[in-house]
Amino acid sequence: MSERGYWLTLSTDNPPSGILATLRERSLFPGGETWWFAWNGLEIKLPGILRELSELDRAWDVVRVFSPKAELRLARRGRTRGCWLLTEQEPAESIPGVEIVSRAEFVVEDGHRILWGQKLRLPDGEARGEVIFPRKLNYELGNDDLNKAWVADVKLYYDRAHRLLAVRYVRIRRVDPGEIKVEPFPKPEEALRLKGG
């Protein structure tokens, strides 16, 4: 089932923590349900719950803050910073301290991204192991149940020609293997037949 999504291009002189504080006042990023990840040339912060807004103001090249209601994207562009908001809620006409430069509407569908799936099947038995890049990958979901997969629930933003333009993260959760139905991609000849070609 598809819904409508909005992609706003924003302009502001506020630091990332200030932008997010303003958007929190509009209930888009509630505490305890707001996740984030970021990276720069020397460091990576994998998705985890956002506990301190000041963490956003470090020298990140890319920052993504997401919740079930919206995703805020910040990216360094030379000496400036791009700022975008994706949401499925009808956006406000104005946001204090932020200029809405443009607004676009898209068709949105639910989706998933598997972050950590089944155990590895090794000759000497099953194992999950630690992945080093260059440090342990920690999604802040706890490592107590290695039988569960870690999945990101996402919103898929499509244009009118049904081309995928963006993937908006919603939340990360643990699921039992097989809980999410997976449909294989059709073979090229089947895809043409399905489209009537």
pTM: 0.80
Q: What is the pLDDT of residue 120?
A: 52
Q: What is the pLDDT of residue 153?
A: 93
Q: What is the pLDDT of residue 132?
A: 45
Q: What is the pLDDT of residue 46?
A: 83
Q: What is the pLDDT of residue 131?
A: 47
Tens-digit pLDDT profile for the chain (197 aa)? 679 999 999 999 999 999 999 999 999 999 889 999 999 988 888 888 999 999 999 999 999 999 999 999 999 988 888 999 999 999 888 888 899 999 999 999 999 887 765 555 555 555 555 444 454 555 665 555 667 777 889 999 999 999 999 999 999 888 877 777 766 666 666 655 655 55
Q: What is the pLDDT of residue 113?
A: 85
Q: What is the pLDDT of residue 116?
A: 65
Q: What is the pLDDT of residue 175?
A: 81
**Structural domain boundaries in the chain:** 1-115+151-197
Cβ burial, residue 10 (10 Å; 0-12/13-18/19+): buried
Q: What is the pLDDT of residue 177?
A: 73
Q: What is the pLDDT of residue 133?
A: 47
